[in-house]
Amino acid sequence: MTAAAAPPPVAGTTAPTRSLRRIGETWYAGYLFILPHFLLFLFMVGLPFFYNLYIALTDYTFGGEAQFVGLENFQNLANPDDYHFPVFWNGVWNTILFVLTSTPLLVGAGLGLAVLVDGKYRGRNFFRALFFAPWTLGIAVVGLLWWWLLNSQSGLLTLFLQGLGAQSVSWLTTNPLAWFSINVATLWWTVGFNTIILLAGLQAISPDLYEAASIDGATKWQQFKAVTIPSLRPILLLVITLQVIASFNMVGQSQIMTGGGPGNETRTALLYMYETGFTNGGQFQLGQAAAMGLIVAAMMVVVSIINFRVFRSDEA
Amino acid sequence: MAIDERADRIDAAIAMAGRSVSRRDLLKVAGAGVGYAALAAIISACGGGRATTPPAGGASVAPGASAAPGGSGGAAIQPPATAVNLDFWNPFTGGDGPYLKKIVDQFNSETPNVQVKFSTQKDLYGSLHAAKAANKLPQVSIVHLDAIPQNASDGIFQPIDDLISALGLSEADFTEDVWKNGLWKDHRYGVPLDTHTLSFYWNKALFRTAGLDPETPPTSKDDFVAAAKAITEKAGVPGFMVVQGGGGANFLLGIEWATTFYQGGGEWTNEDFSESLINSQAGVDSSNFWKSLVDDGISPKGTESDTEIAAFKQGKNGMVMSGIWETNGYIEALKDDLGAGPVPQIFGKGVWSGSHNMGITTREMSAEEKQGAQYFISWISEHSLEWAKAGQIPARQSVVNSAEFKALPVIPDIQKQQADARFFPPFPAAGDALFGPQGAGQAAVAAVTGKKDAKAALDEAAANITKQLKENKAKYGF
């Protein structure tokens, strides 16, 4: 009876459902899910990386015939008698200097702004948009904008200071002011990104925690230290890592605002890499530039690993 | 167009920004004179859109009228029998581009069988190298004189000795130094289109205020320093501003440094290009001369690149030495108060110069295409009068000697120093020895700011350039 009432099984309708479920249970399901991104990654990051490795072993210059030169490009950078050596390593030091100054500034200010725009008050969305807006600009715009604000003869700030009877200040042509100016410009440009990420982190913290803390008599500052910071740790790790990488990659601010000067004091490793590989003055030494890029990339990997270790050990 | 209009509203200083940024790009490219190859097209357009129209006398002259008197002419090369299309690349993103385009347009209308597409590349050498890798080179391109060794070695340009001999071109058609330094490994790769020299400009009104004769510009070191002092003291503005920092410092102080270096008898390298000699006595004297203008209070301390140009346009700087491509901007700003002429001989004769050349690339082309390219180059070379209006000195003596050229405003006054024009010697990255991150310009900046002793700074730069020369000798075999 029941058997007669049940519709006869139709092979065509049940089989796909079953096989889909089976795929979900197979070992390769996960791989299928990452496949689209993996293909993108392979062609946009993976292959270029290995091609870069290959170029670094040649004397490729776009034109002419590329000769295999082994590790010569790396040896040049390790040899104090090579003419690339002083400018490149000076550039590495400048890069590290920028990472060390800009990271605390941008993460600290980002956190501060995130807390400020997390409050419940009228117009907070306006401020969120305001702080984030400069991030949408390109580096050429940002660099020129700040150059016109700061240049010592006809910059807006200079004219303002002169109006007040003050001397003009060489914001971009003397150090430490040049580095200070680059840091300020970078802060204005990119702090909004850190702010938005940290704001998302703040909003994910359960209000119960703050409520419990205030019942226990914790002040706002104690709540910030004991609730906010520990809860934000994974997000902070992300923001710091991204910031370190972004700061490592700094090129445009130096190129546009200071031209690498005074002297070579704000010329970063990657700016010199660009000049070596992609300009006539640098003789289009793409092989040499590729080697520089790999060395900087290796440094970034090491720094990122250290970064993760430090935060993990804190958690334990 | 909207960009040009905006440029008119924003003051002259904005126009300058384009050059400042562009120059930084440019000095890495070749260190030569088009002050416009821009980082951002918008900004360069601001800088470039301000060229003045020459007075009617100059404008009414048909460029075609300047056919070479007594020159060998283009008779030896004829347009091809079948129609060809050519691509012609150039780096003139600024106000000078339209002048060259006008000549090309005239060529196209007069030569139905050769149609040339005028294409401006913001980053000419980067684009040429990328095009070479992709097998998409144009047939014809501009190449700076000092960029020839590098780009010929990289297989971008082909020798054009056959064209040179067919046209019967020789040193007598150009100036000595531009011809001599156009030879790379016994071959020629370009026909010089122009020479652009460092040039001397003064503000006649400020000369009068300072009690100087505005029609008698200084020509010697003593006259120059005395005039600069008089203006600084009596006119209340700097008599001369020495660039000491900013993104264009290596370039702007560099071309002044190179001029006094040449004047003192300086040579970039020894005979076989194996050792840098920028730290010779001529180099040290050159650095110290510019430093003395700062130390003696003639130039304000801390002057940033391009501000000397802006101040001169605003009547707040008595004298300035700039690339000749600034001429139109200066005419527009100062009008009748502008004086222009040869750079004073601080230590003797010699003035920094660059040159745009026209070359044929290694792209595979038919016999007709090649013939068309050759005809195009020889035709443009003879019709370069219009190019002078963009603020360049035509390289062909026949054009420079024509009455039409001599009727142009200002440029012929500067052209008087043509015989003293000096160019980079032919080895790869020669311009880098002046403009690069370890070049003489950088050393000069370190000296005038008092950061380093003039000799010590040049010693350091020379040592690095010598290392680079040795590596290049091994690599390129020169």
Distance from CA of B432 to the nearest CA of A (A): 5
CA B348/CA B345 separation, integer angstroms? 5
Q: pLDDT of B439-464, one tens digit each?
A: 999 999 999 999 999 999 999 999 99
* Stretch 151-180 of chain B: residues touching chain A, C-beta under 8 Å: 151, 153-156
* pLDDT for res B252: 95
| Chain A residues within an 8 Å CB radius of B23 | none
- Which whole number is the average pLDDT over B428-434? 92
Q: pLDDT of A101-137, one tens digit each?
A: 999 999 999 999 999 999 888 888 999 999 999 999 9
DSSP structure class, residue B165 = H
Q: pLDDT of A241-260, one tens digit each?
A: 999 999 999 999 999 998 88
Predicted TM-score (pTM) of this structure: 0.80
Tell whether the model's pLDDT for residue B329 goes beyond 80.
yes
User: Chain B interface, mutation test: which of A280, A286, A292, most B Cβ atoms within 10 Å?
Assistant: A280
Encode A243-264: b = buried (16+ Cβ within 10 Å), e = exposed. bbebbbebbbbbbbbbbbbbbb
Query: DSSP characters for A47-104?
Result: HHHHHHHHHTTB--BSBS-PPB-TTHHHHHHH-TTSTHHHHHHHHHHHHHHHHHHHHH
CA B406/CA B109 separation, integer angstroms? 27
| Chain A residues within an 8 Å CB radius of B471 | 82-83
In chain B, what percentage of residues exceed pLDDT 90?
A: 73
- Picking from A59, A173, A283, the nearest residue to B246 by CB comes out as A173
pLDDT band at B109 (very low <50, low <70, confident <90, very high): very high
Chain B's closest residue to A169, CA to CA, is B302
Phi, psi values for residue B120, rounded to 5°:
-95, 125
Distance from CA of A131 to the nearest CA of B (A): 25
* pLDDT for res A20: 64
| Chain B residues within an 8 Å CB radius of A288 | none
CA B170/CA B188 separation, integer angstroms? 11
| Chain B residues within an 8 Å CB radius of A267 | 437
Average pLDDT in chain B: 85
CA B54/CA A259 separation, integer angstroms? 35
Question: In this predicted structure, which of A288-297, B149-158, B302-311 has the lowest mean pLDDT?
Answer: B302-311
In chain A, what percentage of residues exceed pLDDT 70?
A: 91
* Stretch 109-128 of chain A: residues touching chain B, C-beta under 8 Å: none
CB B408 within 8 A of CB B340: no
- Which whole number is the average pLDDT over B191-198? 95
Chain A's closest residue to B40, CA to CA, is A140
| Chain A residues within an 8 Å CB radius of B302 | 152, 168, 170, 173-174
CA A155/CA B16 separation, integer angstroms? 12
Q: pLDDT of B118-142, one tens digit each?
A: 999 988 999 999 999 889 999 999 9
Distance of alpha carbon B68 from the chain centroid: 24
- Picking from A81, A153, A275, the nearest residue to B311 by CB comes out as A153
CA A149/CA A12 separation, integer angstroms? 72
* Cβ contact B126–A279 (<8 Å): yes
Q: Is B185 near chain A, with CB under 8 Å?
A: no
Q: Which two tokens stand for residue A129?
A: 């948009």
| Chain A residues within an 8 Å CB radius of B431 | 280-281
- Which whole number is the average pLDDT over B339-365? 96
Q: pLDDT of B52-90, one tens digit each?
A: 333 333 333 333 333 333 344 445 789 999 999 999 999
- Picking from A173, A255, A280, the nearest residue to B304 by CB comes out as A173
CA A115/CA A118 separation, integer angstroms? 5
Q: pLDDT of B220-266, one tens digit each?
A: 999 999 999 999 999 999 999 999 988 789 999 999 999 999 999 99
Tell whether the model's pLDDT for residue A168 goes beyond 80.
no
- How many CA atoms, within 13 angstroms, populate the side-chain half-sphere of residue B456? 7
pLDDT band at A281 (very low <50, low <70, confident <90, very high): confident
Q: Is B237 near chain A, with CB under 8 Å?
A: no
Distance from CA of A71 to the nearest CA of B (A): 16
Q: Which two tokens stand for residue A148?
A: 């016109």
| Residue ranges in B33-95 assigned as alpha helix (H) | 41-48, 56-59
- Picking from B150, B156, B437, the nearest residue to A275 by CB comes out as B437
* Cβ contact B245–A262 (<8 Å): yes
Tell whether the model's pLDDT for residue B39 goes beyond 70.
no
* pLDDT for res A97: 96
* pLDDT for res B29: 36
CA A266/CA B314 separation, integer angstroms? 31
* pLDDT for res A151: 82
Which run of H or E residues covers position B393? strand B393-394
Q: Which two tokens stand for residue B318?
A: 């008595």
* Cβ contact A255–B133 (<8 Å): no
